[in-house]
Structure 1
Amino acid sequence: MGSVCREDASLRYDADPHNPPSEVRSDALFREGLTQSGQTTYTPRLIALDLKEASTVSVYSWCNSATIWEYRDNSTDQSQAAADSYFPPYSLEEFTWEDLNRTLNHSALTAQLCGRNQSQHRGRVCFQISAFESWGRDPAWPRLLHSANSSQLRFVIEGVMPRSNCSRFALELLSIDSRDHEAREETHRSIDDEYTPSIFQVSQLVSVHVNSSAPVLSYAQWKPVAYRTASPVFEDSTPCRHSPSSPPLPPPRLGLALAFFGGALDQGYRASAVNISFGIPGEPFYNATGYLSWSCLLGLGSPPEDSFSPLVLGIMVVGLGTPALLLLVGGAYVCVRRLGRQQPGYAPIN
């Protein structure tokens, strides 16, 4: 796989009628923004790579976070926040984003993209991106199981000024799939919480063929937990909830979606969305720490499935095997004792 770094040379603000169109569509792939020093620049909407033998690569689905919701949670037993408790949403297309090259780490395959809303003079929203070369787990909670066909996206809200004394946030996870595919929300439960303490389930949004039992094409997978500090301990975790996947919708005409799909967006694709809220009644609000992080795994093919680790298997063997061994040894001992008490020869009848 190789990348072509020709964007800077191809960026231009004014179309020149005497020159052919640039190979980089500036208005589609980038948006005008401001640097931290106040200079006008283009902010990337799409990060693309040239792939060797690109004809063998198929795009199954497109997943994006377009909107951040903030709402006032003054309830104690509501399963959903009231409609009038929501503030105007933060649209990520209206953010001014920092230079991704500052945080791009080619050896660790990580990058961090941070942006600010014009209405917020302090605080930021960040997306930390990690790619992987093999199977493994991220060292930070929730320690999602990943493969070489997946990447991890960590969503972080840091220092954003809340608009109420009991604010919580929610994120819209948008999926755009081909019309012959459908997005399906699933929840799987487990009895093992070794890697993510107190969390016994995993949620995922998968793309599959319509009315087919064929394998999963792509997925977004997460555990229903977020963290209120950058270096969390167990007490810093907060549960998450997600809505059911929406019915198929016309795909929104977002700049990033148009840059990715082009003119085929309206004809050959449809969208679905899942809203993920962070925190439940009774848990501390965002105001307590001014920090929130949530991780999601994006990948092709079937999502990874957690299995019992050697440690858990060893505990199960000891816990279940020890009583069985004691029963076996005890039964053998009783049999031997009874045989030893029997008198040799014949016993008299009278």
Structure 2
Amino acid sequence: MINLFNSKLVKEVQSSSPQRDGFELENLIENSDNNSDFFKKFKSNGFVSDSFIRPPVTIQIMFNDPVRIESIILDAKVNTQKSTGFTISSSIEPISSFTSAKTRSDIKFCQIAKILNDKTPQNSVYEFLKKGQDYQKNENINKCFFNTKSLDYLNRVTALQITITRTLSSTSPCIKSIKIFGHSEKSTDLQEKKTPEQQLKKILVPEEFIDVLTNEMMRMPVKLPSNKHIDQSTLDKYIAEKKKNNVEPSDPFTCKKFDSNYKPIFDEKLKSKIDKFLFDNSGCVFEFDSSANKSQMEVPDKKLKRKYEGHKMNAVDIKRRRDDSKCDSCFNVQSEDSYFNITMFIRLFFSFFVSFALFNSIRTDRQVSVLWNPECSDPRCKEPSENGSFVNLVYVKLTGQSDIVHLMYSNIQSFTIMIFKTSPNAKLILNWEKLLSQNSTIMKDSIKFSEKPIDFGGYEIPSIFEFIDYNGNADMRKSNETYTYLTRDLCWKKFVSNESAGVLEAFVPNMNGSYKFLINYPGKEERIKVLPHLLLKPESSSVEFQIDSVAPKSKYSKFGTNIVFLTDSIDLSVSSKRTIDDEYTPGTFRLWNAQTLDNAKKSRNYLQWKPIFYYSDPKSLENSTITQQYDSRSNDEISSGLGQVFYGEQKLFTSMNISFGLEGNIKDGYFYKQTNFSSWAFSVGLGAAPDEKMSPVVTLVIFIGFGLPALAIVIGLLVMLVKKIKGRSQYNSL
């Protein structure tokens, strides 16, 4: 056997994520012919994704000729980074089909091995073997086995895909080395060989897993108020079609409009069943019962009725329809002795409460598109300047059903974030010659839209402060020695990104270390995947500001930053909110909001953060301390960045400062020199800031701790009352 992962047998290797400098994907390939000093220097580094990337990360290997795989060895640890979850898939499609520029989704893969989440810190090497295959015992190697149902996909393999699904403590996805042992198989007609689909076991999909509208297997099951199940994607398409025709969404089976009490609910139990079914039968061929449609209910919606003509109404559903038309209640509980069924009440009440706590809204996601320096033909947009700095204008478009939110992240003159909301027809118009003029008068109106924005606002970080805290009071105002680094004077690297995240990195010339702005724009409501797990709306964005390996002026140095609010509003409201829930951000029970208000005291745009920063990576509660926010200052700052484009050079804005550090001396306080790392995250957006709600787990604990005892008391009183009434009825009058 030979290592098949070498330059002579591999046609192409590609990854779904950008890589760190010196930790490129090519380091994994065995290349005996390359003896250059550069190759030798980085060969042992392995592969590490950029610091802002989170799983899943995919590595795809295409071979020159079909190969037969006997074993695969992965070393999943690079320095302090470690990957703990993997899926390995293979393809046997003819190599001739790879000649065209195919996307990863075009190539059909079959999963052959999987590790869900290995948290054992001592071992980082995994060897995948066939069951029954001889091997030497080694305590330093984790032995794993290929899926026995997919062994046919180990022969005549033309492409291999390795997906990193989890990492240890939010470290970057990485692989130290990949070795694929086996044999090369040449010049055999793939078309004459029986395909694995013909040999694999066929599994009938249970009827409860099938979307009643599309007759396809569900991945994200949603229970409609009519007790029918459809997939979330089907529901999203249905709602989008209704809104496109200016019709309020309704249940497609009853035509009753959705409201706060009558709406679809995500079925978590059914989702768990489907996931287990897929995992247990991975590599099998799924079949659907053609007679399943016969039991389905007729769709009253005329458009859907024409689209899904195969669905019939049975007698039970007809009766339920008639009952529903008489009464809007979802159920009618009766007992033979006319007494209330307490067991049924508890079951229904508990199910409703949990469902309401977990899924209380229907998400409206936005389509995300990203452009770097859009429509710029100026050489300054493509090449770095003399000092090595790139011009970066990152344009993110979040397209919704009725509007578009435009996000801009720029280092032109200063680091700036701009947010616009427009109609779906508005187009961005850029005049790069004016924008790069570095003259505030000429820059004005160099960025416009074909239609007037519905609303807009922005944020600017013009300065980064380093203050010497000799007294350990963590107060930037009391320091007599402060150094200011203007973001306009920093050297900026070229923007790198994936689909929903990116990083803008800057450094001070002739100095070590860097300042990073890790930006997220998922286009959907979710929490960012790393601490402090801020909550984002579909139209909002988060920024993680990192100071990494920058040489401080003193061992007593601490850092801070200045934030300017670019808006017409002069009223800035800064407030905090307490919570009893710290599940998402351990040790933090306060949330801060800075919101600009209009004349009616409504929020126009906001900046939200938790008063915590982290001084090590990976982040943890043990490696964190608090931030210090200072009183906002009205009308004291002018914009040196994109604010000049929209407001001119004379407009004064409100600003505030935030610093990182805890009170205390050099032994028990925090100073940057201790770790040479600081990380602080915040989110921005138009309108009101999202409300932090208690997590489902905490809600359930509170309900169990307080709700159930109260419910037990009420039930006890009812039982006593019933017994008392019965007891009286047993006595006869004299």
When the two structures are superposed, what TM-score results if normalisation uses the length of structure 2?
A: 0.38
Q: Which residue of 1 aligns with 2:208?
A: none
Q: Which residue of 2 aligns with 1:138?
A: 528
How far apart are residue 81 of structure 1 and its match?
4.0
Q: Which residue of 2 aligns with 1:216?
A: 603
Question: What are the residue-to-residue correspondences of 1:84-233 with 2, within 5 Å?
Answer: 84-100=479-495, 103-105=496-498, 107=499, 109-120=500-511, 122-178=512-568, 180-209=569-598, 211-213=599-601, 215-233=602-620
Compared CA separation, residues 153 and 2, structure 1 to 2 (3 A):
closer
The structure 1 residue matched to 2:673, chosen from 284, 287, 295, is 287
Compared CA separation, residues 316 and 127, structure 1 to 2 (3 A):
same
3-state secondary structure, aligned to 1:139: coil
How far apart are residue 112 of structure 1 and its match?
0.6
Q: Deviations along 1:244-276, whole A, 9 cap, x unmatched?
A: 111222524x14433x32xx4245x43111111
Distance 2:490 2:704 in 1: 55
3-state secondary structure, aligned to 2:542: strand
Q: Is 1:69–1:86's contact at 8 Å kept on the other side of the alignment?
A: no
Q: Which residue of 2 aligns with 1:17?
A: none
Q: Is 1:143–1:195's contact at 8 Å kept on the other side of the alignment?
A: yes
Q: Deviations along 1:111-133, whole A, 9 cap, x unmatched?
A: 1111111252x111000111021
Distance 1:82 1:245 in 2: 13
Q: Which residue of 1 aligns with 2:218?
A: none
Counterpart residue type for residue 221 of structure 1:
Q
Q: Is 1:110–1:131's contact at 8 Å kept on the other side of the alignment?
A: yes
Q: Deviations along 1:32-66, whole A, 9 cap, x unmatched?
A: 4533xxxxxx6225434687414152453220111
Q: Which residue of 1 aligns with 2:648?
A: 265
Q: Which residue of 1 aligns with 2:133?
A: none
**Quick one: higher RCO (CA 8 Å, sep 6+), 1 or 2?**
1
Distance 1:232 1:47 in 2: 27
Distance 1:271 1:334 in 2: 68
Compared CA separation, residues 330 and 212, structure 1 to 2 (3 A):
closer
Q: Is 1:238–1:279's contact at 8 Å kept on the other side of the alignment?
A: yes
Q: Which residue of 1 aligns with 2:387?
A: 34
Counterpart residue type for residue 87 of structure 1:
T
1:311 paired to 2:708: no
Q: Which residue of 2 aligns with 1:18?
A: none
Distance 1:2 1:123 in 2: 28
Distance 1:303 1:208 in 2: 12
Counterpart residue type for residue 484 of structure 2:
P
Larger radius of gyration: 2
Q: Is 1:112–1:128's contact at 8 Å kept on the other side of the alignment?
A: yes
**Which range moves more in the overlay, 239-248 or 323-332?**
323-332
1:65 paired to 2:461: yes
1:251 paired to 2:638: yes
Compared CA separation, residues 146 and 255, structure 1 to 2 (3 A):
closer
Distance 1:255 1:144 in 2: 27
3-state secondary structure, aligned to 1:143: coil
Q: Is 2:573–2:597's contact at 8 Å kept on the other side of the alignment?
A: yes
Distance 2:596 2:711 in 1: 48
Q: Which residue of 1 aligns with 2:659?
A: 277
How far apart are residue 325 of structure 1 and its match?
5.0
Distance 1:85 1:2 in 2: 44
Distance 1:33 1:48 in 2: 25
Q: Deviations along 1:125-181, whole A, 9 cap, x unmatched?
A: 000111021111011011011011101111000001111112211111111221x55
Distance 2:713 2:678 in 1: 51
3-state secondary structure, aligned to 1:44: coil
How far apart are residue 217 of structure 1 and its match?
1.2
1:47 paired to 2:436: no
Counterpart residue type for residue 114 of structure 1:
E
Q: Deviations along 1:212-254, whole A, 9 cap, x unmatched?
A: 23x31111111110011121121011111101111222524x1
Distance 1:245 1:84 in 2: 19
The structure 1 residue matched to 2:379, chosen from 6, 11, 16, is 11
Q: Deviations along 1:318-347, whole A, 9 cap, x unmatched?
A: 11134435656777899989x99xxx99xx
Q: Is 2:565–2:655's contact at 8 Å kept on the other side of the alignment?
A: yes
Q: Is 1:177–1:183's contact at 8 Å kept on the other side of the alignment?
A: no
Q: Is 1:31–1:45's contact at 8 Å kept on the other side of the alignment?
A: no
Q: Is 1:70–1:169's contact at 8 Å kept on the other side of the alignment?
A: yes
3-state secondary structure, aligned to 1:148: coil
When the two structures are superposed, what TM-score results if normalisation uses the length of structure 1?
A: 0.77
3-state secondary structure, aligned to 1:88: strand
Compared CA separation, residues 165 and 141, structure 1 to 2 (3 A):
same
The structure 2 residue matched to 1:75, chosen from 460, 466, 471, is 471
Please give the root-mean-square deviation of Cα atoms over the aligned residues, in Å: 3.1
How far apart are residue 298 of structure 1 and its match?
1.0
The structure 2 residue matched to 1:302, chosen from 663, 688, 691, is 688
Compared CA separation, residues 325 and 204, structure 1 to 2 (3 A):
closer
Counterpart residue type for residue 527 of structure 2:
R
Compared CA separation, residues 95 and 250, structure 1 to 2 (3 A):
closer
Counterpart residue type for residue 320 of structure 1:
F
Compared CA separation, residues 247 and 96, structure 1 to 2 (3 A):
same
Counterpart residue type for residue 131 of structure 1:
Y
Counterpart residue type for residue 600 of structure 2:
S
Compared CA separation, residues 161 and 91, structure 1 to 2 (3 A):
same
Compared CA separation, residues 104 and 82, structure 1 to 2 (3 A):
closer
Compared CA separation, residues 83 and 118, structure 1 to 2 (3 A):
farther
Counterpart residue type for residue 274 of structure 1:
M
Compared CA separation, residues 174 and 2, structure 1 to 2 (3 A):
closer
Distance 1:83 1:321 in 2: 50
Distance 2:671 2:683 in 1: 25
